[in-house]
Chains A and B, each alone.
Chain A
Amino acid sequence: MSGLDQVHHIGPSIALFVGAGLVLTVDMLWPRGSRGRAPLVQVTLLVLLVAFGWALWHAMTGTNGTAFDGAVVMDRFALFFIFLLVATTAAVTVASTEWAGELDLRGEYYALMLVAAGAMSLLAQGNDLILIFIALETTSIVQYVLVGVTREDRSAEAGIKYLISGAIAAGLMIYGFAFLFGTTGATSLDGIAAFVQTGNEEARLPLMLGFVLVAAGFGFKMAIVPFHGWAPDVYQGGPTPVISLLSVASKAGGFAIALRLFYNGLGGADTFISEDWAMMFGVFAVGSMLFGNLGALVQTDARRLLGYSSIAQAGNVAIGLAAVAAGSTLGPSGVLFFLGTYVATNLGAFFAVMAISQRIGSYAIADYAGLIKRSPLLAAVLMLCLLSLTGIPPTAGFIAKLYIFNGAIQADAQWLVAVVAIAVVNTAISAFYYLRWVRTMVLDDPEEETTFTASGPMQAMLALAAVSVLFFGLIPAPLISAAQRAAETLSVPLS
Chain B
Amino acid sequence: MLENLKIVFHQGKQYIPDPTTVEVPGIFRGRPVISLEKVDETELIALCPTNAITNQPIQIDLGKCTFCGECAMRFPEKISFTKEYKIASNERERLIITEGEDKAIEVNPDTVRKEIHRVFGKSLKLRQVSAGGDNSCEMELNAANNVQFDISRYGIDFVASPRHADGIVITGPITKNMAEAVQICYDAIPEPKIIVLVGTDAISGGLFADSSAIDRSFLDKYHVDLYIPGNPAHPLSIVNGLLDLTRKLK
A, B from the same assembly: no
Q: List residues of chain A with CB under 8 Å of any chain B CB.
A: none
Q: List residues of chain B with CB under 8 Å of any chain A CB.
A: none
